[in-house]
Structure 1
Amino acid sequence: MLLTLDHVTVTFGGLVAVSDVSFALKEHEVMGLVGPNGAGKTTLFNVVSGLARPSKGKVTFLDHDLTGTPIYKRARLGIGRAFQVPQPMHELTVRENLIVAQRFGTGHSDPERIDEILDLTQLGHKANRDAATSLALTEQKALEVGKALATSPKLLMLDEVLGGLETTGKRAFMKTLNAARERFGVALLMVEHDIETISNSCPRVLVLNFGKLIADGSPDEVFRNPEVIRSYTGGDAA
């Protein structure tokens, strides 16, 4: 198994952000993580990537217990993450952004993989331009994913990377992500509010509400689940 969460709970003072969540993700699997605002999705991502520590439970990645493992070591084990708000490194070119991410995540340089990523993300024509000032929003998001791919991940975590894009932009971006998955053999775990995108892209979907895992199954099963419908509408399912 690639990633396993075993009874993970996260508390901040008296607030329970994640409550007794367990699931497993296989290699090459594509999984969506959804839920209303404040459901605990980002907190769960933070636990896996190392930005938060569970109060209880355990996270295992490729049989490595991640308890106490720093972020850079998680990256070198194969955990990559792209954020909703792009974070290009200022005064560096697009290529240099990828090189810095690669060295952080792998400890070495691989120019051939950098060229592959530039080709995949369609950023090759801007490879030597300032990443912070020369890219449109869609291109910045492509670079954000490219930086994660540069770390040679086995698991790519996508934290609302489609946010702010129009429908056509989302569809084009998902084609890029699927191409990346096929080329590099990564598993995808994605948080996304757009139910259509999740339904079309993720064979398996998890739903969180108030920190609890309330559904796990195919999109059709999950989005017909009365408890899931109530979590979004606040009322009873029709």
Structure 2
Amino acid sequence: MLRLDQVSVRFGGLMALKDVSFELKGGEILGLVGPNGAGKTTLFNVISGLTRARGRTLFNDKDISALPLHKRARVGIGRTFQIPQPMKHLTVRENLTVAQVFGAGRNDPARIDEILDVMQLSEQADRDAQSGLALQELKRLEIAKALATEPKLLLLDEVLAGLESQAKRQFTGKLKELHARFGLTIVIVEHDIETISDLCSRAVVLNFGQLIADGTPAEVFRNPLVVESYTGTPHA
């Protein structure tokens, strides 16, 4: 479904990504792992079209490297952001409507009702999205907006950050449900090893903008380079 070929991004003197290459198969749930500043969000920005890069990004065998953000949404790439960003002065339902028109190019109220229901936001549908929601509801809204664009590939950027353990487990269960219900391919940025191990069949690890490991969560989290990237100490 997705192939990155020698993707590199430089911000002035900082090499944010360096020759990152990997493939993602349709239906996978992939964990994108690495210490803070490793380049994970930059990689999401490249895939979704927010950041231009050297190298190639291919989606369903088509080179989308030059496509802008809205056109990548139209081919089926949806994403969330680390900090929930509801649209100001709009209700929860209106946020989903705008996202749907932007990403899918149509307005389908029945589909929006389905997303509100599955994300447990039906009772909040007419609330002001910016001021009327608690943290967990804001996180559910962030995912709901991405679902409204009707993605085939869903990029989740630390959607579980700030949640306590029980809420994380509930969210993990919800992501499994979305994966099955909508036939999604998912890439999730998450620091919690237990969550990645439970949710993902595969993980890739970035450090200083370079891909240093690719394999099952068990393989990746035993990898000496990965251990060293988090602890700063060579693995014995």
TM-score under structure 1 normalisation? 0.97
SS at match of 2:89: coil
1:158-173 → structure 2 map (5 Å cutoff) = 158-173=156-171
Q: 1:104 aligns with which of 102, 106, 124?
A: 102
SS at match of 2:86: coil
Alignment correspondent of 1:115: 113
Alignment correspondent of 2:24: 25
Alignment correspondent of 1:151: 149
- Post-superposition Cα deviations, 1:197-229, rounded to whole Å, max 9, x if no partner, equal 111111100001111111000011000011111
Name the aligned partner's letter for residue 217 of structure 1. Answer: G
Alignment correspondent of 2:82: 84
Q: 2:192 aligns with which of 194, 202, 206?
A: 194
TM-superposed deviation, 1:63: 1.9
Moved over 2 A (4+): none
Q: Which moved more, 1:198-207 or 1:63-72?
A: 63-72
Alignment correspondent of 2:230: 232
SS at match of 2:160: coil
Alignment correspondent of 2:202: 204
1:44 and 1:91 map into 2 onto residues whose CA distance is: 31
1:31 and 1:177 map into 2 onto residues whose CA distance is: 12
SS at match of 1:198: helix
TM-superposed deviation, 1:171: 0.9
SS at match of 2:154: strand
1:6 and 1:236 map into 2 onto residues whose CA distance is: 29
Percent identical across equivalent pairs? Answer: 63
Alignment correspondent of 1:75: 73
1:64 and 1:128 map into 2 onto residues whose CA distance is: 39
SS at match of 1:53: coil
TM-superposed deviation, 1:14: 2.1
TM-score under structure 2 normalisation? 0.98
1:182 and 1:115 map into 2 onto residues whose CA distance is: 18
Q: Residue 84 of structure 1 contacts residue 162 of structure 1 at CA under 8 Å; is this kept in 2?
A: no
2:16 and 2:82 map into 1 onto residues whose CA distance is: 20
Question: Once superposed, what is the RMSD of the aligned Cα atoms?
Answer: 0.9
TM-superposed deviation, 1:45: 0.7
Q: 1:60 aligns with which of 58, 61, 67?
A: 58
SS at match of 1:101: helix
1:185 and 1:76 map into 2 onto residues whose CA distance is: 17
Alignment correspondent of 1:14: 13
Matched residues, number: 236
Q: Unpaired segments of 5 or more residues in structure 2?
A: none
Q: Residue 39 of structure 1 contacts residue 211 of structure 1 at CA under 8 Å; is this kept in 2?
A: yes
1:126 and 1:12 map into 2 onto residues whose CA distance is: 40
Q: Unpaired segments of 5 or more residues in structure 1?
A: none
- Post-superposition Cα deviations, 1:69-107, rounded to whole Å, max 9, x if no partner, equal 110000000000011111111221111110110000011
1:176 and 1:94 map into 2 onto residues whose CA distance is: 19
1:45 and 1:3 map into 2 onto residues whose CA distance is: 12
1:94 and 1:15 map into 2 onto residues whose CA distance is: 38
